[in-house]
Copies of this chain bind each other. A is one copy, B any other.
Amino acid sequence: MALDERKKCILKAVVDDYIATAEPVGSKALVSRYHFKVSPATIRNEMAELEELGYLEQPHTSAGRVPSDKGYRAYVDTLLPVEDITREDAERISRYLSDSLDELTSLIRRASSVLSEQTGYTSVALSPQLHRSQLQQIKMLMIEPGRALVVVVLSAGVVKDRLVRIPDLLDAQQLMQVASAIESGLAGMKLDDITLVTVAAAARQTPVPDSLLNQVLYEAYVSIKQADNLEVYMDGTHNLLSFPEFSDVNKAREHLMTLTSSGMIAGYMNEMKDQEDQGASAGESTDLSEPEPPGAASRPAYTVRIGQEILLDGLQDCSFVTTTYKMGDYVAGRIGVIGPKRMTYGKVISHISFIKQTLNEQIRSLAAGRDRTEDHEDEA
């Protein structure tokens, strides 16, 4: 059932044209715009066959053709024009990302903002998940009687803090004792393995009356657990209003609503997080011939979800291109772009790939900067 060379060419041309114009593309326009050496009639026959096979659809009789989800899929998997971002862009972006004040979250946030800016679509990023990283430090700082700041430092170098209420009678020294007891008891443990019980056990021998201790321990525990809170950064949400597919305000509103009910997206992305991306081509199956087109094989992995493949209600007219970023050796989070199915996949993927790469480098160099505080020249 593989497509012959000419069909591929035509499919590619149709998708390209539709991406560019957002209008159904007809046989005549195709030959004139893409210099085919055959007549419109031939193209028509081919297109009819492509429609038969499910790669194209007609909005109505006597309109041009529009790619189906399957058509986009094939396009993305095997026909994708390889694009590269310009040297200047690459440098500007990596410079912008590299002065992110040592803050992992600010790095991710910026990456997201870069993506939406560069692609013109909506970008989404998941904060890194840290449940597999270890507790390194926990400090408690008395702000005033009854209030304290809990600072949690994780092995990943991530610092989170949180204001809490504590018993008024607890003094600064006791607070410090509790904190250092917890720290020495739990340092090196994975976040996953820390429970209220382990926290309590660690602080058992501190000379602080139980009546005061309990609340503090609870807050410490919550603070540690909260260090792993999943967050979503989104940028350029209103970009999608520029596209004709959302010229209907109600549709647009619905999309925005779905997007900004961030819990949904977070959950969805988080579910995909663990499944590693499949190299240069994406997850879903197609029945086109060559699984490894030349040139694209060297790109970092990414995932493309098209139309119905997205299991989130309200985003079925969209495509969702994502990739993961790592911390150390495990997948930490996911970052991606949401746009109309008629997306400039080539451009988006090149940017996503670049971001993935840069992000991984930056994270690695942040970590390295923490272990050995010298050598900063490991920029790619």
Contacts and interface: CB of A to CB of B under 8 A. Distances in A.
A149 B153 CA distance: 10
A151 B153 contact: no
Interface string A215-251: 0000000000000000000000010011000111100
Given A141-B139, A163-B159, A102 B147 contact: yes
A147 B370 contact: yes
Interface stretch (A9-17, A76-84, A119-127, A253-261): A253-261
A319 B151 CA distance: 43
Q: Which 8 A-B pairs have the closest CB atoms?
A: A241-B253, A238-B256, A168-B373, A146-B373, A247-B249, A143-B153, A241-B249, A102-B163
A137 interface: yes
Contacts of A253: 238, 241-242
A331 interface: no
Given A143-B159, A241-B249, 12 more contacts: A101-B163, A101-B164, A103-B163, A141-B151, A143-B153, A147-B157, A159-B163, A238-B257, A241-B252, A242-B253, A246-B249, A249-B252
A328 interface: no
A144 B157 contact: yes
A293 interface: no
A246 B101 CA distance: 40
Contacts of A373: 145-146, 168
Contact of A165 (B102, B147, B241): B102
A95 to B, nearest CB: 17
Nearest to A102: B163
Contacts of A247: 249
Contacts of A157: 143-144, 147
Contacts of A277: none
State which size class the interface on A falls in.
35 or more
Contacts of A164: 101
A309 interface: no
Interface in A255-303: 256-257, 260
A163 B249 CA distance: 43
Interface string A96-129: 0000011100000000000000000000000000
A161 interface: yes
Interface string A61-84: 000000000000000000000000
Contacts of A248: 249
19 contacts: A101-B164, A102-B147, A102-B163, A137-B143, A141-B151, A143-B157, A144-B370, A145-B373, A146-B369, A146-B370, A149-B151, A159-B163, A168-B373, A238-B257, A241-B249, A242-B253, A246-B249, A247-B249, A249-B252
Nearest to A255: B238
Given A247-B249, A257-B238, A161 B137 contact: no
A362 to B, nearest CB: 15
A149 B143 contact: no
A89 to B, nearest CB: 23
Contacts of A141: 139, 141, 151
Interface in A364-379: 369-370, 373
A369 B144 CA distance: 11
Contacts of A370: 144, 146-147
Q: Indicate the member of A144, A146, A248 with the most B CB atoms within 10 Å.
A: A144
Nearest to A244: B249
Nearest to A167: B373
